[in-house]
Chain A
Amino acid sequence: MGVSPMTLFLLRRIAGFAVTLFVAALIIFLLLDLLPGDPARFILGINATPEAVAALRAQMGLDAPAHERFLNWIGGMLRGDFGISSTQRLAVSELIAERMAVTLPLTMIAMVVSVVVGLPIGILAAMRRGKATDTALMVLAQTGVAVPNFWFGMLLTLVFAVTLRWLPTGGFIPWDEDAGAALRGLVLPGLALALPQASILARVMRTALVDVAEQDFIRTARAKGMTKSEAIWRHGVRNALLPVLTILGLQFAYLIAGTIIVENVFYLPGLGRLIFTAISERDLVLVRGATIVLVVATTATMLLVDLCYGLVDPRLRRQGA
């Protein structure tokens, strides 16, 4: 056969990635195409003559058959051309790129913070299972899940921006003007986004580790001459990471969705706000472009998670399942 199981595993994942993207693009296209409301009519206003609307439709390429428009759209995207925003009259790709410079770092910060905070809390709680530390941490995590992130964002602003004046209350200074200021502007929104995610991660990590701690191989490790916590640390954590990885992948999608609210709270010019305005102004070209970018980001994260699975779990490498 000549193909190593690992290569096969990779090929299969990447093929799955491509198929998912295509199907997602098709669904986005159909949904927005079937949506009631004519973008040309929306741009020109209700008093426009039918001839003017027809002319604009032709100019926007809306009169071509559906499959042709779909293929044109896909082809354009592959060349990096996402179309022209109908409200802002700018290239969608540029608009998105500009906003991504805010949203991507914001999501990354939130992701890193939730992992760095959530996992250790989960591990600690599992190791101290049933004790006061465990209860306290889990109450904390429960609260973290329950608190809405816009409210937590406002609380953070009140403490760190208004009272202590350590960080700005909102707004964003572009990276090329002052990178330090840009980063400082992202700290509070990043924390607000990370809180519920960190709480969920902590809970999942704890549950997974408690399950793993009951497994026979932990007893084996103790029989070999490890204390209980050494056994859990050396043998348990890696096994418990498998379910955590799944959640981590799903969280990325939630984080991006969460940016829509948090960016509004902190007045950040991010992708979330771009999509929000685009939807309310019926800028379908922009909505479509931004949505597909989100889909690519989410699917790519899932691919990454799958590949991590393959790295962590030798059983998957062989089956390629």
Chain B
Amino acid sequence: MALVDIRDLTITFGQHEAVSGLSLRIERGERFGIIGESGSGKSLTALAIAGLLPESAAVSGQVLFEGTVLPDDERDMTRLRGRHIGMVFQEPMTALNPLMTIGEQIEEAIRLSETSEIVPLAVSALLDEVGLAPGLAARYPHQLSGGQRQRAMIAMALASKPELMIADEPTSALDVITQRTVLDLISTICRRRHMTLIFISHDIRAVAALCTRIGVMRAGELVEQGVTGDVLRAPVADYTRELVAASRMERRLRSSASLNDDRAALLRVEGVGRIYRQSGIWPGCGAPVRAVDQVELTIGTGECVALVGPSGCGKTTLARIIVGLDKASDGRMVFDGTAYDGSNLPPLLRANMSLVFQDPFSSFDPRMTIAQSLGEPLHLLGRISGEEREARLREAIEAVGLKAAMLARYPHEFSGGQRQRLAIARALVTRPRLVVLDEPVSALDVSVRGDILALLARLQAEHGLTYLIISHDLDMVAAMADRVLVMEKGRIVEEGTPETLFAHPEHPLTKALMAARLPEVA
């Protein structure tokens, strides 16, 4: 008897069919991965198993758990969920109650499962199982790191000794190193407890590393399922083939210009530091934080430099200082012969650099048309004529492969990939020389990442752009960058071309980053 047996499940919201006719059996002890892009219905499928679908959803078909149809009564379903299913969600910061210590929250899960006798002992045992010190039970979620929070979340999911654990994108909000350790932890626990796992992800490599069987979902349908190795080695569905192909990043060909070693320096960062003082008026209440510490770097014209490091290492702060959104506490930058410290960047120089943000959804004002958003940086150029403005907007939007007619639309009318194209168009509108890209593809679905990277490469060749890419995705960096800088605690700790750096990492952080890489599939 299968632990979970889904028969012809259809979930509709109004007219929209989010999951259509899905049938799936998950055997006891199996680790089943569901792969799909955002909106493919993978999370809804998981929520349906746990009886947690939103009330606006209309459901047909059946979900059987241990051979019994899920109860309709809310209280019965709640009890089943509490005792037999553990869940881990994507964003551990918002998934934990900010006003309760993690100990209290784990304790509550134990009480609700009504399985354990001695609660305090059980809490520390659970913390120990997920690799957290017992003392952390007294901490509130905001006092923990992202990885620790996700561990606490896993401890909570394990409290009821569930038969089934559902993990919905449990690592996509974490940085590479933490992602790897959390994946390993889930894998170890599943093995030790002989627990069945449903693992939902858009990251085919994470699924491949963890799961025994996988299902591929697209637009609400299960297009393929089977044993992990078979599906990835010889995919049957076209879509699976595309996904597998997109997960590999090919090293792009270098233009002759970028191979030239003695190019002129476009940007020099000289001993730049940034200190944040903690909470103001009372003296001695918290040591100042050095977010960026004595950074020296040079970026040549036409070069693509990548800055990698774990979250909180100061890479985004450094980028903000370079483009003038923040002020360096000490040191200075020299851009094309002009020195500045961040805040005193003259507008015309500012027009020569632009920034592309990670999340294309939140980086556009929803109440402005695309033309208005894209036109905003043009004020840096002083007074320009309406025709000139028009021409610039058309040039920018066509450069990223979209149509000029789209300028009249609003951000919500575009997909994630299109929005990131628009963000790039906005960065190009002043015809800058340096473009700083802060995690340009990490919020995008795997299948569009390749397109965006290809676009960036083409733009660089056509317009002679210089890139500073900030990322923790080593494969993307290896595919794009001429030179890689590794940053830790505000300092640059290692530097080199991707080939040499990744083949012979010297600094412990670089080694750790390399070790955390998930193996290529098939």
Contact = CB atoms under 8 A, between A and B. Distances in A.
B94 A226 contact: no
B97 A225 contact: no
B216 to A, nearest CB: 25
Given A3-B285, A315-B142, A219 B52 contact: yes
A215 interface: yes
Interface string B133-176: 00000001011000000000100110110000000000000000
A3 B285 CA distance: 8
A321 B91 CA distance: 25
A301 interface: no
A222 B52 CA distance: 8
B168 to A, nearest CB: 10
Residue among B89, B98, B140, B286 with the most chain A CB within 10 A? B98
A32 interface: no
Given A313-B99, A319-B279, A227 B140 contact: no
B52 A226 contact: no
B109 interface: yes
A320 B286 CA distance: 11
A207 B279 CA distance: 31
A216 interface: yes
A239 interface: yes
Given A217-B94, A314-B99, A227 B74 contact: yes
Interface in B257-306: 279, 281-282, 284-286
Contact of B95 (A12, A220, A225): A220
A84 interface: no
Given A224-B108, A227-B75, A239 B82 contact: no
A310 to B, nearest CB: 12
Contact of A225 (B113, B140, B285, B286): B113
A8 interface: yes
A77 interface: no
B99 A219 contact: no
A184 interface: no
Given A12-B282, A219-B89, A320-B285, A224 B97 contact: no
Given A222-B81, A223-B50, A227-B78, A314 B96 contact: no
A319 B142 CA distance: 11
Given A224-B112, A227-B75, A239 B279 contact: no
Interface residues of A, number: 31
Contact of B89 (A216, A235, A315): A216
B289 to A, nearest CB: 13
A321 B96 CA distance: 22
B142 A224 contact: no
B304 to A, nearest CB: 37
A100 interface: no
Interface string A291-320: 000000000000000000000111100111
Contacts of A238: 99
Contact of A224 (B74, B109, B285): B109
Contacts of A35: none
A1 B285 contact: yes
B87 interface: yes
Contacts of B97: 217, 220-221, 235, 239
B89 A225 contact: no
B83 interface: yes
A228 interface: yes
A224 B156 contact: yes
B85 interface: yes
Interface string B309-328: 00000000000000000000
A228 B94 contact: no
B504 interface: no
Given A216-B95, A238-B99, A315-B140, A225 B74 contact: no
Nearest to A234: B108
A308 B281 CA distance: 22
A220 B83 contact: no
A222 B99 CA distance: 17
12 contacts: A1-B285, A8-B285, A220-B95, A223-B52, A225-B78, A226-B112, A228-B74, A239-B99, A314-B140, A314-B142, A319-B279, A320-B279
Interface of B: 50, 52, 74-75, 78-79, 81-83, 85-87, 89, 91, 94-100, 108-109, 112-113, 140, 142-143, 153, 156-157, 159-160, 279, 281-282, 284-286
Given A225-B79, A239-B99, 14 more contacts: A215-B94, A217-B94, A219-B89, A220-B89, A221-B108, A222-B52, A224-B113, A225-B78, A225-B160, A314-B140, A314-B142, A315-B140, A315-B142, A318-B143
A-B residue pairs, 4 tightest by C-beta: A225-B82, A223-B87, A225-B112, A216-B94
